Amino acid sequence: MDSTRQNKISRLIQKELGDILLRLQKETRGIMVSVSAVRVSPDLGISKAYLSVFPSEKGAEVVNHLNENVKAIRFELGNRVRHQLRIIPEIRFYIDDSLDYIDNIDKLLKE
């Protein structure tokens, strides 16, 4: 169960990461990336960002690229939220593949 503080920080980080990735997305043609969820640890030190990538075949490549450049992304996030947060949490990116599961469930239900 997340606290109210964790939920507020998660929403703030999700919004700002979405803006940052939208700016980075202009460099990569043909790939859409959106931040579907952000979970923050109870000590507010680590945040897990779940990304939805289209086309999903490029998901692992995109997440690996972002995890390699996480310092630059965290620095920009820190510049954006420096007045709202005292400590900028570490960011870890993961693939959100829930849409793939929905497609598989739909196929199974139709059979």
Report domain extents, the chain: 4-110
CATH class of 4-110: alpha beta
CA distance 40 to 89: 8
* Helical pair 59-68 and 70-81, crossing angle rounded to 10 deg: 70
Tokens matching residue 93:
């990116």
The token pair that represents 79 in the structure block: 């510049």
pLDDT the model gives residue 8: 92
Residue 98 pLDDT exceeds 90:
no
pLDDT, tens digit (0-9, with 9 covering 90-100), for 57-86: 888 888 888 899 899 999 999 999 989 888
Provide Rg for the chain, Cα atoms: 15
Q: Are strands 46-54 and 90-95 parallel, antiparallel or unpaired?
A: parallel
53 Cβ partners below 8 Å, 6+ apart? 31, 32, 33, 59, 62, 63, 95
Please answer whether residues 47 and 40 qualify as being in contact, where contact means their C-beta atoms are separated by less than 8 angstroms: yes
For the cut 70, the answer to whether the pLDDT of residue 111 exceeds it is no
**pTM score:** 0.81
